[in-house]
Amino acid sequence: MIKFLDLQKINAQYADELKQAAAEVIDSGWFLTGDKLATFEKQLAEFTGAKHAIGVANGLDALRLILKAYIDMGVMAAGDEVIVPANTYIASVLAITDNQLVPVLVEPTLESYNLDLNLIEKHITPKTKAIMVVHLYGQVCWSDDLTALAQKHQLKIIEDNAQAIGASFNGVKTGNLGDASGFSFYPGKNLGALGDAGAVTTNDAELVERVRALGNYGSKKKYVNEFIGLNSRLDELQAAFLSVKIKHIETENQIRKNIAARYLQEITHPEVILPRPVNKSFSANENPEHVWHLFVIRHPNRDALQTYLSECGIQTLIHYPIPPNKQGAYAQMNHLDFELTNQIHDTVLSLPISSVMTQDEVTQVITAINHFKA
């Protein structure tokens, strides 16, 4: 069977180094906020080009803490609005509502699956304080116009970079494009820990101080609590694992790009809609990079295609079957309908893609899809 994602095989590549890292942490007797975390934060900051990186417990917390810090800094307040793509993973929206902020859902484009940047301005109200761009599926969501728009309306741009570590726009890496960025190192992400982990990156020193304090009980000094905080720390074990794995992220992303290039070239089924090669949806002077966290195709009869591929021994997933506004958790938003978002959720299918997929497996996926009869 071709697995959607073989985490065992991915981590087996680095087994010796990972076991060594774990042994060092166990032997040190120091498990939280130590050298391993400091080292990984430095590596992540260097990798993204952002001045600061702060390890936190997971990707959702990274986004929650950014917004919570902005509220504490007086940049925004409960009841203010944050623009966010309607087709994102629910975590982006949870981070907003958890802070008593109001998510303003905006449609993506069918070409990029990312926020339609042309629709943002008409959703801006006096209450709008931030735009949360989500680099969905590994594709950067950015433009020079976006920066200008944010400046014009004095909005913060927060990147949900859970899916796109290593992607870039005109040579600037995601995580260093907006005012602050949230990363997830959930095991299945392009840079995956062996458990939960996340991080915030930013160039804003005040934000760093707030996020650090808020993630540590609102305390800068032990037992002195200035803010009402959370406990959200990236532990030494996960930090040590991530330090090993971040050294290989560029290589792994390159393998993903090579697989995506083959899928784009060789899948020729007339009813399959391929993700648009990113460079064509931007103007000539904009050069975005895609890191293919997911390779998402569309088909009008998606469920039949998924069943067929499963019969061929190929595991696929759906990202995502239900948009946030149609979830039971958000009953107050269930009446909203987003045509493109609905269409995306009804037709998308994610093909296997990872740094440990063999060329032969890629060929099998391509051949199976090209032989599908609806």
Ligand X SMILES: *Cc1c(COP(=O)(O)O)cnc(C)c1O
Residues at the site binding ligand X, with contacts judged by CB under 6 A: 58-60, 88-89, 91-92, 134, 160, 162-163, 184, 186, 196, 198
Q: Are 215 and 197 in contact (CB under 8 A)?
A: no
Distance (Å, rounded) from C-alpha 76 to C-alpha 302? 41
The residue type at 21: A
Contacts of residue 231, Cβ cutoff 8 Å, sequence gap at least 6:
57, 215, 216, 217
Give the length of the chain. Answer: 374
Question: 166 with 50: CB under 8 angstroms?
Answer: no
Choose between 183 and 308: whose C-beta lies nearer to ligand X.
183
- Smallest separation (angstroms) from ligand X to the CB of 1: 25
**Residue 232 or residue 316: which is nearer to ligand X going by CB?**
232
Q: Please identify, using beta-carbon distances, which residue of 64 and 298 lies nearer to ligand X.
A: 64
Nearest CB to ligand X, comparing residues 260 and 366: 260
Copy the structure tokens of residue 297.
């195709």
Q: Which is nearer to ligand X, 312 or 317 (CB)?
A: 317
DSSP strand pairing (219-221 vs 224-225):
antiparallel
Residue 84 or 146: the one with the smaller Cβ distance to ligand X is 84
For residue 63, the minimal CB distance to ligand X (Å) is: 6
For the bound state, the minimum distance from the C-beta of residue 370 to ligand X, rounded and expressed in Å, comes to: 29
In the complex, minimum distance from the CB of residue 231 to ligand X, in angstroms, rounded to a whole number: 15
CB of 67 vs ligand X, minimal distance in Å:
13
Least distance (Å) between residue 291 CB and ligand X: 13
Q: How far is the CB of 89 from ligand X (least distance, A)?
A: 4
Cβ-based nearer residue to ligand X, 131 or 272: 131
Rounded to the nearest whole angstrom, what is the least distance from the CB of residue 160 to ligand X in the complex?
5
CA 351 to centroid of chain Cα atoms? 18
Nearer to ligand X, 233 or 269 (CB): 233
Which residue number is nearest to ligand X in terms of Cβ?
59
Closest among 102, 91, 79, 106 to 336, alpha carbons compared: 106
> Nearest 5°: phi and psi at 265?
-80, -40
Nearest approach, Cβ of 45 to ligand X (angstroms)? 19
At a CB cut-off of 8 Å and minimum separation 6, what does 224 contact?
A: none
Please, what is the Cα angle at 319 between 318 and 322, to 5 degrees? 90
Sign of the alpha-carbon torsion through 122, 77, 105, 178: positive
Which amino acid, 125? Answer: T
In angstroms, rounded to a whole number, what is the distance separating the alpha carbons of residues 191 and 100?
30
Nearer to ligand X, 196 or 252 (CB): 196
Q: Roughly how many angstroms between the first and final C-alpha of the chain, as a whole number?
A: 22
Contact call for residues 264 and 237 (beta carbons, < 8 A): no
Cα 277 from chain centroid (whole Å): 19
